[in-house]
Amino acid sequence: MRETSKPKIRLGLLLLFVASVLSVGVYAVDTPSAFLIALIPLTYTIPAFVFLDRLEPEPRAMRWNAFLWGAGISVLVAGFVNEVTTATIGSSAALVISAPVAEEIMKSLGGLFSPFAHPFFTLWVGLAIGAAVRKGRSRRIAAVRGLLPAMALHASWNASGLSVVFAVLLLGHIVLFFVVARRLRRMRRDEIELVRRRLPQLAFAHNLSPIELEAYGDLRATRRLRRSLPRKQRSAFDERRLMITKLALREQP
């Protein structure tokens, strides 16, 4: 990362943090019980995405940006849009129309993948963009395609509280959630296997030792090797492992 970009990143994170504090403060004071309930998903969404990101972790600033955007900017903008919609055409329309559209667009704009507000809905944008990157297709078109199921799921979830088919919709969402979770776990396993297969091809070019070859293809071995190193060497180890992992995932055999 260029040094000149770091002040801009810090300023952006500061603004996102301020927006997040404002948004959290407003909703915590206005609806404290709903605010506390809204914190519950963080107990499993954050560990889940850390688990998925472990093989090829994104920069810490990018992760904070995604979290703060979802907790701050998207909430403030979506809240404003929902209030206007409620005042003009009613609360039911706001739940089913403006909420899914405004919130999913705003969350997806947060680095295109900020899944911490409604993770299961916004997840579809990330899946669509990831598939486009792998296949060399347009990311913008993929983002739009991913927004469609995100908005549809969000709308159906909000509508379920307004109808007698709540149980059916809830069951459908639960089943779909586990299907997606299984698919994500399989994708992660496939990526680890891909890294393991391509490591021998990278060994000569990057002078990998036998210990590194064994460790980089197994996350548990990576953690064991990292813990065995002095603290001063761990940062360099992390950078080298990340570089090799990125090369293994991107280079063609």
Please state the separation of Cα 194 from the chain's center in Å: 22
> 59-63, 94-98, 149-153: which has the minimum mean pLDDT?
94-98
Q: Which of 47-51, 66-70, 111-115, 162-166 has the lowest mean pLDDT?
A: 111-115
Any domain includes 184: no
Same domain, 225 and 143: no
Domain that holds residue 207: 190-250
Asked if the structure places residue 45 within a domain, the reply is yes
Mean pLDDT of 221-225: 89
In the chain, the number of structural domains is 2
pLDDT of residue 137: 79
96 and 150 inside one domain: yes
Tell me what pLDDT residue 97 has: 56
More confident residue, 170 or 150: 150
Looking at the domain assignment, is residue 56 inside a domain? yes
Residue 74 pLDDT: 64
Higher pLDDT among residues 249 and 88, named by residue: 249
Same domain, 159 and 214: no
Query: Which region, left, alpha or beta, applies to residue 112 given φ > 0 means left and ψ of -120 to 50 means alpha?
Result: left
Task: Kindly tell me the number of DSSP H helices and DSSP E strands found in the chain.
Answer: 13, 0
Closest among 131, 124, 80 to 104, alpha carbons compared: 124
* Four-residue CA torsion sign, 69, 134, 52, 7: negative
Q: Tell which wins on pLDDT, 244 or 184.
A: 244
Please identify, among 128, 163, 198, the residue that sits at the C-terminal boundary of a domain. Answer: 163
pLDDT at residue 115 above 50? no
Q: Between 172 and 227, whose confidence is greater?
A: 227
**What is the predicted pLDDT for the residue at 160?**
57
Predicted TM-score of the model (pTM): 0.52
Residues 146, 197 within the same domain? no
User: Same domain for 142 and 100?
Assistant: yes
> Is there a single domain that holds both residue 125 and residue 235?
no
Contact 113, 132 (CB under 8 A): no
Q: What pLDDT is stored for residue 1 in this prediction?
A: 46
Answer whether residue 226 is part of any domain: yes
For the cut 50, the answer to whether the pLDDT of residue 234 exceeds it is yes
Q: Are residues 218 and 159 in the same domain?
A: no
Position 58 in a domain: yes
Residue 174 lies in a domain: no
pLDDT value at residue 35: 62
Handedness of CA 233, 67, 58, 10 (dihedral sign): negative
Q: Is the pLDDT of residue 45 over 80?
A: no
Answer yes or no: do 95 and 146 share one domain. Answer: yes
Same domain, 123 and 40: yes
Residue pair 236/250 in contact (Cβ under 8 Å)? The answer is no
> Is residue 92 very low, low, confident or very high in pLDDT (cuts 50, 70, 90)?
low
Do 151 and 201 lie in a common domain? no
Per-residue model confidence (pLDDT) at position 4: 46
The answer as to whether 205 is a domain residue is yes
Is the domain of 128 the same as that of 40? yes
Mean pLDDT computed over 123-128: 78
Complete DSSP assignment for 61-86: HHHHHHHHIIIIIHHHHHHHHHHHHH
Q: Are residues 134 and 221 in the same domain?
A: no
Give residue 21's identity as a one-letter amino acid code: V
